[in-house]
Amino acid sequence: MKLDRYPYYANASFFDFDFESEGPKGKIRKIARFIKIRRNLYSFGFGDLDANTGDISDTVVSNNGDGVKVLATVAYIVYDFTTMYRDAAIYIEGSTPARTRWYQMNIGAYMLEINVIFEIYGFQNARWEPFRKGINYKAFMGQRRQLPDQLFDDQQHKAGS
């Protein structure tokens, strides 16, 4: 699956990411971070950086006409992070119900492709369940599936150790 995305940067820890959205409103710097909750469990957040104040906001509506490209970039970031931290489970919740719904619609739109790589869960009616299209969830959780390439990598490590 190839999606149009922005180039993005990470620091050496691979917890912090940075990219620029470009559109009619100009360039908007976006910061994304994985926050460790406990072992192998991370919360993910991203927002617009105000270079003057240093504030980050995920409630401001950028209106830069590139929402799909921004979300695709975020999807690549999540994929990359879980390439680095294979056992990480990622918790994601939109800053507003509308944003959470937007995430849900985009996960749903690519579910066939996503489902091969990630286990995705949605939270509704006070419980987690495997993600289903068309359901309004309050939050999401995803984790990389154990794929053959990972098994191969693990075997390579074992063989090399």
Partner 1 sequence: MSLKKKSSKKAAISKTSAIISDKVGNYEHHPFFVKKAEKAKAFLNANGLPKGLSGKH
Contact positions toward partner 1, by CB under 8 A?
7-18, 31, 33, 35, 37-41, 43, 45, 47, 54-58, 76-77, 79-80, 83-84, 87, 89, 91, 93, 119, 121, 123, 126-130, 139, 141, 143, 146, 153, 157, 161
Count of positions (residues) in the chain: 161
Where are the extended beta strands (E) located within the chain? Answer: 8-10, 16-23, 26-38, 41-49, 56-57, 89-92, 118-124, 127-130, 139-144
Q: Which is nearer to partner 1, 35 or 105 (CB)?
A: 35
Residue 61, exposed/middle/buried by CB under 10 A (0-12, 13-18, 19+)? exposed
Nearer to partner 1, 65 or 87 (CB): 87
Q: How far is the CB of 33 from partner 1 (least distance, A)?
A: 5
Nearer Cβ to partner 1, position 9 or 52?
9
